[in-house]
Amino acid sequence: MKVAVVKYNAGNIFSVVHALERMGVEPILTDSAEELRSADKVIFPGQGEASSAMHYLREHGLDRIIPSLTQPVLGICIGQQLMCRHSEEGDVDCLGIFDVDVKRFQPRRHEDKIPHMGWNSLQVKSEEFTLRSSLLEGTPFVYFVHSYYVPVCEFTIAVTEYIHPFSAAMQKDNFYATQFHPEKSGAVGQQILRNFLEMKSE
């Protein structure tokens, strides 16, 4: 199986690569259209700032390639946010796969710290949650680090509550996304990545 990880100017891409290697998968790290199109699975990870990330994606033509992919694609953290229509971070238009806008958390009480950082629980909304498994029953904890969020919308497949409910995971067609970092979420995260890798391509 060929797994491609989108190479761009985001931090922490190697943690995804390491997580895949621990599962016996040797991913290729690439920004080439050809490599991305021919992969069985594509992972779009990262941590970073939305407008500078979009700038890089446009410069490398990735803003057209990513939305046109037909195999299962998994966006992680800023990957999820970049797959949306627009982000308040740097007021930038994004890839538009999910027709929803990314907002910044606004604290309501002294205890509401930004970024939302740490382990929080998932409520899996969709019966059809493709990333499900026994580890995802109940309300498993996963690791988040983010200051911007995607509101709950028609594409939301798992919800987490911080200040208010937001989209912890999303899906539309072959596009999947998580706001949390499965590669940093211990055994639960590893199971989510494994479920993604085992998904059948349409």
Partner 1 sequence: MLAKRIIPCLDVKDGQTVKGTNFLQLRQAGDPVELGKLYSCQGADELVFLDITASHEGRKTFANMVQKVAAEIDIPFTVGGGISELADVDRMLSAGADKISINSAALRRPQLIDEIVSHFGSQVCVVAIDAKQELPEEGTGEGTWTCYLNGGRIPTERNLFDWAREVNDRGAGEILFTSMNHDGVKEGFACEALSRLASLLTIPVIASGGAGKMEDFRDVFTQGHADAALAASVFHFGQIGIPELKEYLRKEGINVRPPVRL
Smaller CB separation from partner 1, 96 or 186 = 186
Name the segment binding partner 1 (CB under 8 A); options: 46-54, 61-69, 83-91, 148-156.
46-54
Question: Does residue 21 carry a catalytic annotation?
Answer: no
The alpha-helical segments, DSSP class H, found in the chain are 13-22, 33-38, 50-59, 62-68, 78-82, 186-198
Cβ atoms within 10 Å, residue 70:
10
The answer to whether the beta carbons of residues 119 and 141 sit under 8 Å apart is: yes
Cβ atoms within 10 Å, residue 117:
13
Distances (CA, A) of 176 to 33, 121, 126, 172: 19, 19, 13, 7
Cα separation, 8 vs 77, in Å, equals 14
Residue from the set 27, 45, 46, 48 that interacts with partner 1 by CB under 8 A: 48
Cα-Cα end-to-end distance for the chain: 15
Residue from the set 102, 168, 184, 196 that interacts with partner 1 by CB under 8 A: 184
Smaller CB separation from partner 1, 64 or 113 = 113
Confirm or reject binding of residue 93 to partner 1 (CB under 8 A).
no
Confirm or reject binding of residue 25 to partner 1 (CB under 8 A).
no
Question: Does residue 146 carry a catalytic annotation?
Answer: no
Question: Does residue 181 carry a catalytic annotation?
Answer: yes
Name the segment binding partner 1 (CB under 8 A); options: 33-41, 53-61, 124-132, 188-196.
188-196
| Residues at the contact surface with partner 1, assessed by CB under 8 A | 11-12, 14-15, 18-19, 21-22, 47-49, 107, 110, 113, 115-121, 135, 141, 143, 145, 161-162, 181, 183-190
